[in-house]
Amino acid sequence: MPIYEFRCNGCGNRFEKLCPVGTTGADLKCPECGKQAPERVMSAFQACGTGGGKGAGSGCGSCSSKSCGSCGH
Ligand SMILES: [Zn+2]
């Protein structure tokens, strides 16, 4: 299972959790304040590996890094 990073909408806490592929965070809770449904943070690595790569010359299109050096796109 991949490790996803989440950000709490309540307290802003960021945490990582091992989750099944496709996990959105809707079923999770912030470990700091207990608020439900933290927002999943897409790292460049994960975004590129799961549907990125829209075309050459413009990065992946779905990650924040234009050069996408970390994923080779
Ligand atoms: Zn929180």
| Mean confidence (pLDDT) of the chain | 77
Tell me the residue type at 46: Q
Contact 4, 17 (CB under 8 A): yes
pTM of the model: 0.58
Cα 12 from chain centroid (whole Å): 15
Tell me the pLDDT band of 32, cut-offs 50, 70 and 90.
very high
Residue 48 has pLDDT above 90, yes or no: no
Tell me the CA–centroid distance for residue 40 and ligand 1, in Å: 13
Tell me the pLDDT band of 42, cut-offs 50, 70 and 90.
confident
Tell me the CA–centroid distance for residue 43 and ligand 1, in Å: 20
Tell me the CA–centroid distance for residue 32 and ligand 1, in Å: 5
User: What would you report as the CA-atom Rg of the chain, rounded to the nearest whole angstrom?
Assistant: 14
Please state, in angstroms and rounded to a whole number, the distance separating the CA atoms of residues 38 and 10: 8
Tell me the CA–centroid distance for residue 25 and ligand 1, in Å: 13
Other Cβ atoms less than 10 A from the Cβ of 43: the count is 18
Average pLDDT over residues 37-62: 61
Q: Tell which residue, 34, 47, 33, has the closest CA to residue 5.
A: 47
